[in-house]
Chains A and B, each alone.
Chain A
Protein backbone atom coordinates (compact mmCIF):
# COMPACT_ATOMS: atom_id res chain seq x y z
CA UNK A 1 0.00 0.00 0.00
CA UNK A 2 1.11 3.51 -0.66
CA UNK A 3 0.67 6.61 1.42
CA UNK A 4 -0.91 9.75 0.00
CA UNK A 5 1.84 12.37 -0.30
CA UNK A 6 2.30 14.78 2.60
CA UNK A 7 4.78 17.41 3.70
CA UNK A 8 7.26 16.08 6.23
CA UNK A 9 8.48 18.16 9.16
CA UNK A 10 11.37 17.28 11.42
CA UNK A 11 11.54 19.89 14.20
CA UNK A 12 14.31 19.84 16.80
CA UNK A 13 12.36 21.44 19.63
CA UNK A 14 8.88 21.40 21.17
CA UNK A 15 8.23 25.04 20.29
CA UNK A 16 8.54 24.34 16.59
CA UNK A 17 6.19 21.37 16.94
CA UNK A 18 3.53 23.59 18.50
CA UNK A 19 4.10 26.26 15.82
CA UNK A 20 3.53 23.72 13.04
CA UNK A 21 0.48 22.28 14.81
CA UNK A 22 -0.97 25.76 15.30
CA UNK A 23 -0.42 26.58 11.65
CA UNK A 24 -1.93 23.46 10.09
CA UNK A 25 -4.42 22.33 12.75
CA UNK A 26 -6.33 19.18 11.80
CA UNK A 27 -4.28 18.77 8.62
CA UNK A 28 -1.21 17.87 10.69
CA UNK A 29 -0.32 14.89 12.88
CA UNK A 30 2.72 14.05 14.98
CA UNK A 31 4.30 10.63 15.03
CA UNK A 32 7.15 8.83 16.78
CA UNK A 33 7.65 5.20 15.72
CA UNK A 34 4.83 5.38 13.19
CA UNK A 35 3.88 1.78 13.96
CA UNK A 36 0.20 2.73 14.40
CA UNK A 37 -0.05 5.92 12.38
CA UNK A 38 1.57 4.56 9.21
CA UNK A 39 -0.72 1.51 9.25
CA UNK A 40 -3.72 3.85 9.37
CA UNK A 41 -2.28 6.02 6.57
CA UNK A 42 -1.56 2.98 4.40
CA UNK A 43 -5.08 1.66 4.94
CA UNK A 44 -6.41 5.17 4.13
CA UNK A 45 -8.30 5.25 7.42
CA UNK A 46 -6.51 8.53 8.17
CA UNK A 47 -5.01 11.15 5.93
CA UNK A 48 -2.86 14.20 6.73
CA UNK A 49 -1.27 16.93 4.65
CA UNK A 50 1.53 17.35 7.20
CA UNK A 51 3.38 14.80 9.29
CA UNK A 52 5.60 15.94 12.13
CA UNK A 53 8.36 13.56 13.18
CA UNK A 54 8.93 13.88 16.94
CA UNK A 55 12.07 11.72 17.03
CA UNK A 56 14.49 14.67 17.03
CA UNK A 57 12.62 16.79 19.57
CA UNK A 58 15.18 17.13 22.30
CA UNK A 59 12.72 17.72 25.18
CA UNK A 60 11.01 14.36 24.64
CA UNK A 61 14.07 12.17 25.23
CA UNK A 62 14.67 8.97 27.18
CA UNK A 63 14.16 7.77 30.72
CA UNK A 64 14.90 9.83 33.84
CA UNK A 65 14.88 9.11 37.54
CA UNK A 66 13.28 11.33 40.16
CA UNK A 67 13.08 10.56 43.88
CA UNK A 68 9.85 8.66 43.80
CA UNK A 69 9.04 8.17 40.14
CA UNK A 70 10.57 7.14 36.83
CA UNK A 71 9.92 9.58 33.98
CA UNK A 72 9.50 7.73 30.68
CA UNK A 73 9.97 10.29 27.90
CA UNK A 74 7.64 10.32 24.91
CA UNK A 75 10.37 8.98 22.62
CA UNK A 76 11.20 5.95 24.77
CA UNK A 77 10.46 2.81 22.79
CA UNK A 78 9.13 -0.39 24.34
CA UNK A 79 12.52 -1.98 23.59
CA UNK A 80 14.38 0.81 25.36
CA UNK A 81 12.04 0.62 28.37
CA UNK A 82 12.33 -3.18 28.58
CA UNK A 83 16.13 -3.00 28.68
CA UNK A 84 16.70 0.17 30.70
CA UNK A 85 18.63 -0.63 33.91
CA UNK A 86 16.71 1.97 35.92
CA UNK A 87 13.33 0.66 34.76
CA UNK A 88 14.41 -2.92 35.44
CA UNK A 89 15.49 -2.01 38.97
CA UNK A 90 12.72 0.41 39.97
CA UNK A 91 9.58 -0.78 38.16
CA UNK A 92 10.50 -4.34 37.14
CA UNK A 93 6.98 -5.50 36.28
CA UNK A 94 6.61 -2.64 33.81
CA UNK A 95 9.93 -3.60 32.16
CA UNK A 96 8.65 -7.13 31.79
CA UNK A 97 5.36 -5.91 30.27
CA UNK A 98 7.31 -3.87 27.70
CA UNK A 99 9.30 -6.93 26.70
CA UNK A 100 6.07 -8.81 25.99
CA UNK A 101 4.45 -6.24 23.69
CA UNK A 102 3.90 -7.16 20.02
CA UNK A 103 7.08 -8.40 18.30
CA UNK A 104 10.68 -7.20 18.37
CA UNK A 105 10.25 -4.82 15.40
CA UNK A 106 7.24 -3.05 16.90
CA UNK A 107 9.06 -2.83 20.26
CA UNK A 108 12.15 -1.34 18.62
CA UNK A 109 10.20 1.38 16.78
CA UNK A 110 7.03 1.90 18.86
CA UNK A 111 6.82 4.18 21.89
CA UNK A 112 4.76 4.08 25.07
CA UNK A 113 3.48 7.61 24.36
CA UNK A 114 2.32 6.52 20.89
CA UNK A 115 0.56 3.50 22.37
CA UNK A 116 -1.32 5.59 24.96
CA UNK A 117 -2.17 8.39 22.53
CA UNK A 118 -3.57 6.01 19.94
CA UNK A 119 -5.74 4.31 22.60
CA UNK A 120 -6.36 1.13 20.64
CA UNK A 121 -8.25 -0.89 23.29
CA UNK A 122 -6.22 -4.09 22.76
CA UNK A 123 -3.26 -2.63 24.53
CA UNK A 124 -1.08 -3.81 27.42
CA UNK A 125 0.32 -0.73 29.21
CA UNK A 126 -2.85 1.05 30.47
CA UNK A 127 -4.02 -1.56 33.04
CA UNK A 128 -0.64 -1.93 34.74
CA UNK A 129 0.11 1.80 34.62
CA UNK A 130 -3.29 2.46 36.21
CA UNK A 131 -2.61 -0.09 38.96
CA UNK A 132 0.81 1.50 39.58
CA UNK A 133 -0.70 4.98 39.89
CA UNK A 134 1.16 6.38 36.87
CA UNK A 135 0.35 9.76 35.32
CA UNK A 136 0.58 11.19 31.82
CA UNK A 137 2.21 14.61 31.47
CA UNK A 138 0.52 16.71 28.80
CA UNK A 139 2.20 19.81 27.43
CA UNK A 140 0.91 22.51 25.12
CA UNK A 141 2.56 25.70 23.87
CA UNK A 142 1.79 27.48 27.13
CA UNK A 143 0.70 24.96 29.74
CA UNK A 144 1.44 21.62 31.33
CA UNK A 145 -0.87 19.28 33.24
CA UNK A 146 -0.91 15.82 34.63
CA UNK A 147 -3.64 13.20 34.14
CA UNK A 148 -3.70 9.80 35.87
CA UNK A 149 -3.41 6.95 33.34
CA UNK A 150 -6.55 5.53 35.00
CA UNK A 151 -8.51 8.48 33.58
CA UNK A 152 -6.49 9.18 30.43
CA UNK A 153 -8.09 6.59 28.15
CA UNK A 154 -11.64 7.80 27.54
CA UNK A 155 -12.71 5.10 25.10
CA UNK A 156 -11.81 3.44 21.83
CA UNK A 157 -9.19 5.64 20.12
CA UNK A 158 -10.05 8.57 22.40
CA UNK A 159 -8.13 10.08 25.28
CA UNK A 160 -8.27 13.12 27.56
CA UNK A 161 -5.53 14.77 25.46
CA UNK A 162 -6.59 18.00 23.74
CA UNK A 163 -5.61 18.54 20.10
CA UNK A 164 -3.06 21.19 21.06
CA UNK A 165 -1.37 18.94 23.63
CA UNK A 166 1.36 16.32 23.40
CA UNK A 167 2.40 13.65 25.83
CA UNK A 168 5.82 14.68 27.10
CA UNK A 169 6.35 11.97 29.69
CA UNK A 170 4.71 9.13 31.58
CA UNK A 171 5.52 9.17 35.30
CA UNK A 172 5.52 5.81 37.04
CA UNK A 173 5.88 5.66 40.85
CA UNK A 174 8.86 3.59 41.95
CA UNK A 175 7.70 0.23 43.32
CA UNK A 176 8.14 0.30 47.11
CA UNK A 177 9.87 -2.46 49.12
CA UNK A 178 6.53 -3.61 50.57
CA UNK A 179 4.75 -3.62 47.18
CA UNK A 180 4.58 -6.10 44.33
CA UNK A 181 2.91 -5.92 40.92
CA UNK A 182 1.90 -8.71 38.59
CA UNK A 183 0.72 -8.36 35.02
CA UNK A 184 -0.91 -11.17 33.06
CA UNK A 185 -1.89 -10.85 29.42
CA UNK A 186 -3.32 -13.37 27.02
CA UNK A 187 -4.40 -13.46 23.40
CA UNK A 188 -3.91 -15.69 20.39
CA UNK A 189 -3.55 -12.77 17.95
CA UNK A 190 -0.77 -10.18 17.92
CA UNK A 191 -2.55 -8.02 20.44
CA UNK A 192 -3.97 -8.99 23.84
CA UNK A 193 -7.55 -10.27 24.23
CA UNK A 194 -7.58 -9.59 27.97
CA UNK A 195 -5.03 -8.49 30.52
CA UNK A 196 -4.98 -8.01 34.27
CA UNK A 197 -2.71 -5.96 36.51
CA UNK A 198 -2.56 -6.47 40.26
CA UNK A 199 -0.67 -4.49 42.86
CA UNK A 200 -0.33 -5.83 46.40
CA UNK A 201 0.85 -3.69 49.28
CA UNK A 202 1.82 -5.27 52.56
CA UNK A 203 1.54 -2.97 55.60
CA UNK A 204 2.61 -4.96 58.65
CA UNK A 205 0.85 -8.08 57.47
CA UNK A 206 -2.27 -6.24 56.24
CA UNK A 207 -2.58 -6.54 52.50
CA UNK A 208 -4.33 -4.15 50.13
CA UNK A 209 -4.80 -4.90 46.45
CA UNK A 210 -5.17 -2.68 43.40
CA UNK A 211 -6.68 -4.53 40.46
CA UNK A 212 -7.21 -3.29 36.91
CA UNK A 213 -8.41 -5.07 33.80
CA UNK A 214 -7.38 -4.12 30.27
CA UNK A 215 -8.26 -4.87 26.63
CA UNK A 216 -11.64 -6.41 27.45
CA UNK A 217 -13.44 -3.05 27.31
CA UNK A 218 -12.67 0.16 25.48
CA UNK A 219 -10.81 1.57 28.50
CA UNK A 220 -9.10 0.09 31.58
CA UNK A 221 -11.56 -1.18 34.20
CA UNK A 222 -11.03 -0.84 37.94
CA UNK A 223 -12.01 -4.07 39.76
CA UNK A 224 -12.93 -2.27 42.97
CA UNK A 225 -15.41 -4.91 44.08
CA UNK A 226 -12.70 -7.56 44.03
CA UNK A 227 -10.35 -5.26 45.93
CA UNK A 228 -13.01 -4.78 48.60
CA UNK A 229 -13.74 -8.50 48.84
CA UNK A 230 -10.04 -9.21 49.42
CA UNK A 231 -9.43 -6.45 51.95
CA UNK A 232 -8.01 -7.80 55.22
CA UNK A 233 -8.22 -11.43 54.07
CA UNK A 234 -5.14 -13.32 55.35
CA UNK A 235 -3.04 -14.85 52.60
CA UNK A 236 -3.84 -18.40 53.71
CA UNK A 237 -7.56 -17.70 53.24
CA UNK A 238 -7.30 -15.99 49.86
CA UNK A 239 -8.20 -19.20 48.07
CA UNK A 240 -11.54 -19.32 49.93
CA UNK A 241 -12.59 -15.86 48.80
CA UNK A 242 -10.81 -15.17 45.54
CA UNK A 243 -12.55 -17.40 42.96
CA UNK A 244 -16.05 -16.31 43.96
CA UNK A 245 -15.01 -12.66 44.07
CA UNK A 246 -13.40 -12.66 40.62
CA UNK A 247 -16.19 -14.69 39.05
CA UNK A 248 -18.88 -12.46 40.43
CA UNK A 249 -17.08 -9.39 39.17
CA UNK A 250 -16.17 -10.66 35.71
CA UNK A 251 -19.59 -12.20 35.04
CA UNK A 252 -21.06 -8.71 35.24
CA UNK A 253 -18.58 -7.21 32.78
CA UNK A 254 -19.77 -6.09 29.39
CA UNK A 255 -17.55 -7.56 26.69
CA UNK A 256 -17.88 -7.90 22.94
CA UNK A 257 -17.43 -11.03 20.88
CA UNK A 258 -14.84 -10.48 18.15
CA UNK A 259 -11.77 -12.07 16.56
CA UNK A 260 -10.06 -12.14 19.95
CA UNK A 261 -12.74 -14.45 21.33
CA UNK A 262 -16.35 -14.59 22.46
CA UNK A 263 -17.58 -12.34 25.25
CA UNK A 264 -17.95 -15.33 27.61
CA UNK A 265 -14.47 -16.56 26.83
CA UNK A 266 -13.04 -13.14 27.63
CA UNK A 267 -14.93 -12.94 30.93
CA UNK A 268 -13.64 -16.38 31.87
CA UNK A 269 -10.11 -15.38 30.88
CA UNK A 270 -10.38 -12.23 33.00
CA UNK A 271 -11.39 -14.25 36.06
CA UNK A 272 -8.64 -16.84 35.65
CA UNK A 273 -5.91 -14.29 34.95
CA UNK A 274 -7.07 -12.20 37.90
CA UNK A 275 -6.85 -15.12 40.32
CA UNK A 276 -3.36 -16.00 39.15
CA UNK A 277 -2.11 -12.43 39.29
CA UNK A 278 -3.59 -11.85 42.76
CA UNK A 279 -1.96 -15.00 44.13
CA UNK A 280 1.39 -14.17 42.60
CA UNK A 281 1.34 -10.55 43.75
CA UNK A 282 0.32 -11.59 47.26
CA UNK A 283 3.09 -14.15 47.44
CA UNK A 284 5.67 -11.77 46.13
CA UNK A 285 4.64 -8.95 48.50
CA UNK A 286 4.71 -11.25 51.51
CA UNK A 287 8.17 -12.54 50.68
CA UNK A 288 9.37 -8.94 50.47
CA UNK A 289 8.11 -8.25 53.98
CA UNK A 290 10.26 -10.86 55.71
Chain B
Protein backbone atom coordinates (compact mmCIF):
# COMPACT_ATOMS: atom_id res chain seq x y z
CA UNK B 1 0.00 0.00 0.00
CA UNK B 2 1.00 3.61 -0.23
CA UNK B 3 3.10 5.22 2.47
CA UNK B 4 2.39 8.45 4.29
CA UNK B 5 4.10 11.47 2.81
CA UNK B 6 5.24 14.63 4.42
CA UNK B 7 3.75 17.84 3.07
CA UNK B 8 5.81 20.93 3.92
CA UNK B 9 4.22 24.20 2.96
CA UNK B 10 3.52 27.69 4.15
CA UNK B 11 -0.08 28.05 5.25
CA UNK B 12 -1.33 31.56 5.94
CA UNK B 13 2.22 32.75 6.55
CA UNK B 14 3.25 29.90 8.86
CA UNK B 15 5.45 26.92 7.94
CA UNK B 16 3.56 23.67 8.38
CA UNK B 17 4.45 20.04 8.08
CA UNK B 18 1.57 17.59 7.74
CA UNK B 19 1.57 13.84 7.28
CA UNK B 20 -0.74 12.92 4.41
CA UNK B 21 -1.56 10.23 1.90
CA UNK B 22 -0.65 11.23 -1.67
CA UNK B 23 -4.25 10.67 -2.78
CA UNK B 24 -5.64 13.24 -0.34
CA UNK B 25 -7.24 16.33 -1.81
CA UNK B 26 -6.19 19.77 -0.66
CA UNK B 27 -9.67 20.73 0.53
CA UNK B 28 -9.74 17.76 2.94
CA UNK B 29 -6.24 18.35 4.28
CA UNK B 30 -7.00 22.04 4.86
CA UNK B 31 -10.33 21.36 6.56
CA UNK B 32 -9.62 18.17 8.48
CA UNK B 33 -5.89 18.32 9.23
CA UNK B 34 -5.26 22.07 9.40
CA UNK B 35 -8.60 23.25 10.81
CA UNK B 36 -9.26 25.71 7.98
CA UNK B 37 -13.01 25.21 7.74
CA UNK B 38 -13.50 28.39 5.74
CA UNK B 39 -12.55 26.38 2.65
CA UNK B 40 -15.85 24.91 1.36
CA UNK B 41 -16.53 21.97 -0.91
CA UNK B 42 -19.60 22.30 -3.07
CA UNK B 43 -19.65 21.27 -6.76
CA UNK B 44 -16.45 19.20 -6.46
CA UNK B 45 -15.78 19.70 -10.20
CA UNK B 46 -13.90 23.06 -10.42
CA UNK B 47 -16.96 25.05 -11.43
CA UNK B 48 -18.30 26.91 -8.37
CA UNK B 49 -15.28 28.40 -6.60
CA UNK B 50 -16.44 27.68 -3.02
CA UNK B 51 -13.21 25.74 -2.43
CA UNK B 52 -10.94 28.52 -3.78
CA UNK B 53 -7.58 28.97 -2.06
CA UNK B 54 -4.55 30.93 -3.25
CA UNK B 55 -1.40 29.04 -4.21
CA UNK B 56 1.52 31.47 -4.47
CA UNK B 57 -1.08 34.22 -4.72
CA UNK B 58 -3.23 32.74 -7.52
CA UNK B 59 -6.62 31.01 -7.17
CA UNK B 60 -6.96 27.23 -7.52
CA UNK B 61 -9.77 24.76 -6.78
CA UNK B 62 -8.74 22.89 -3.64
CA UNK B 63 -11.45 20.27 -4.39
CA UNK B 64 -9.47 19.07 -7.40
CA UNK B 65 -5.88 19.62 -6.29
CA UNK B 66 -3.70 17.00 -4.65
CA UNK B 67 -2.48 18.30 -1.30
CA UNK B 68 0.99 16.89 -2.09
CA UNK B 69 1.20 19.35 -5.01
CA UNK B 70 1.39 22.17 -2.48
CA UNK B 71 4.72 20.87 -1.19
CA UNK B 72 7.10 23.84 -0.99
CA UNK B 73 4.40 26.33 -1.89
CA UNK B 74 2.61 29.18 -0.20
CA UNK B 75 -1.10 28.65 0.45
CA UNK B 76 -3.59 31.25 1.65
CA UNK B 77 -7.07 30.40 2.90
CA UNK B 78 -9.72 32.86 4.05
CA UNK B 79 -8.41 32.50 7.61
CA UNK B 80 -5.09 34.01 6.48
CA UNK B 81 -6.39 37.38 5.33
CA UNK B 82 -7.17 39.17 8.60
CA UNK B 83 -4.13 40.49 10.51
CA UNK B 84 -4.25 41.10 14.29
CA UNK B 85 -8.04 40.84 14.38
CA UNK B 86 -8.29 43.39 11.58
CA UNK B 87 -10.07 42.37 8.39
CA UNK B 88 -8.23 42.76 5.08
CA UNK B 89 -9.42 45.61 2.87
CA UNK B 90 -11.26 43.15 0.60
CA UNK B 91 -13.03 41.54 3.59
CA UNK B 92 -13.94 44.98 4.94
CA UNK B 93 -15.36 46.06 1.57
CA UNK B 94 -17.57 42.94 1.45
CA UNK B 95 -18.87 43.78 4.95
CA UNK B 96 -19.39 47.47 4.13
CA UNK B 97 -21.36 46.64 0.97
CA UNK B 98 -23.31 43.75 2.51
CA UNK B 99 -21.91 41.62 -0.32
CA UNK B 100 -23.08 38.33 1.19
CA UNK B 101 -26.19 36.57 2.35
CA UNK B 102 -25.67 32.94 3.33
CA UNK B 103 -21.91 33.43 3.07
CA UNK B 104 -21.08 30.06 1.53
CA UNK B 105 -19.43 31.56 -1.56
CA UNK B 106 -17.82 34.42 0.37
CA UNK B 107 -14.42 32.88 1.24
CA UNK B 108 -13.88 32.02 -2.43
CA UNK B 109 -15.14 35.39 -3.65
CA UNK B 110 -12.92 37.28 -1.22
CA UNK B 111 -9.84 35.21 -2.09
CA UNK B 112 -10.44 35.51 -5.85
CA UNK B 113 -10.89 39.28 -5.45
CA UNK B 114 -7.69 39.45 -3.41
CA UNK B 115 -5.80 37.70 -6.23
CA UNK B 116 -7.41 39.93 -8.86
CA UNK B 117 -6.32 43.13 -7.12
CA UNK B 118 -2.82 41.73 -6.51
CA UNK B 119 -2.36 41.07 -10.23
CA UNK B 120 -4.34 44.02 -11.58
CA UNK B 121 -4.62 47.07 -9.33
CA UNK B 122 -7.21 48.87 -11.41
CA UNK B 123 -9.36 46.30 -13.19
CA UNK B 124 -12.17 47.51 -15.45
CA UNK B 125 -15.73 46.31 -14.82
CA UNK B 126 -15.30 43.78 -17.62
CA UNK B 127 -12.03 42.52 -16.11
CA UNK B 128 -13.66 42.11 -12.69
CA UNK B 129 -16.53 40.09 -14.18
CA UNK B 130 -14.14 37.99 -16.24
CA UNK B 131 -11.91 37.15 -13.27
CA UNK B 132 -14.80 36.33 -10.93
CA UNK B 133 -16.78 34.42 -13.56
CA UNK B 134 -15.86 31.09 -12.02
CA UNK B 135 -17.13 31.99 -8.54
CA UNK B 136 -20.83 31.24 -8.26
CA UNK B 137 -23.14 32.93 -5.77
CA UNK B 138 -26.72 31.69 -5.43
CA UNK B 139 -27.90 34.47 -3.12
CA UNK B 140 -26.75 37.99 -3.84
CA UNK B 141 -27.38 38.36 -7.57
CA UNK B 142 -23.75 39.56 -7.75
CA UNK B 143 -24.61 43.27 -7.72
CA UNK B 144 -23.47 43.84 -4.14
CA UNK B 145 -20.35 41.78 -4.75
CA UNK B 146 -19.43 43.85 -7.81
CA UNK B 147 -20.06 47.04 -5.83
CA UNK B 148 -17.77 45.83 -3.08
CA UNK B 149 -14.99 44.98 -5.54
CA UNK B 150 -15.41 48.24 -7.47
CA UNK B 151 -15.12 50.23 -4.25
CA UNK B 152 -11.51 48.99 -4.02
CA UNK B 153 -10.46 50.05 -7.51
Residues of A within 8 A of B (CB): 1-8, 34-35, 38-39, 42, 51, 53, 55, 79, 99, 102-106, 108-109, 190
Contact = CB atoms under 8 A, between A and B. Distances in A.
Contacts of B130: 99
Interface string B108-134: 000010010000000000000011011
A42 B23 contact: no
B2 A5 contact: yes
B87 interface: no
Contacts of B61: 35, 105-106, 109
Contacts of A3: 23, 25
A4 B23 contact: yes
A39 B45 contact: yes
A81 B115 CA distance: 18
Nearest to B71: A10
B23 A2 contact: yes
Contacts of B133: 103-104
Interface stretch (B46-54, B78-86, B98-106): B46-54
B5 A39 contact: no
Contacts of B55: 108
28 contacts: A1-B44, A4-B23, A5-B23, A6-B2, A6-B23, A7-B2, A7-B22, A8-B5, A8-B22, A8-B66, A8-B68, A34-B64, A38-B25, A38-B64, A39-B64, A42-B44, A53-B68, A99-B130, A103-B47, A103-B135, A104-B112, A104-B134, A105-B52, A106-B46, A106-B134, A108-B55, A108-B60, A109-B65
B5 A42 contact: no
Contacts of A55: 69
A42 B51 CA distance: 16
B1 A5 contact: yes
A103 B44 contact: no
A39 B46 contact: yes
Contacts of A106: 46, 61, 134
Contacts of B49: 103, 105
B22 A42 contact: no
B134 A102 contact: yes
A109 B134 CA distance: 14
Contacts of B18: none
B58 interface: yes
B74 interface: no
B107 interface: no
Given A3-B23, A6-B23, A51-B22, A103 B134 contact: yes
Q: Which of A6, A7, A42, A103 has the largest count of B CB atoms less than 10 A from its CB?
A: A103
Contact of A42 (B52, B64, B115, B135): B64
Nearest to A51: B22
A39 B1 CA distance: 22
B134 A53 contact: no
Contacts of B21: 5
B23 A105 contact: no
Nearest to B136: A103
Contacts of A6: 2, 22-23
Given A42-B64, A55-B69, A79-B58, A105 B22 contact: no
B104 to A, nearest CB: 17
Given A103-B49, A105-B61, A109-B65, A5 B22 contact: yes
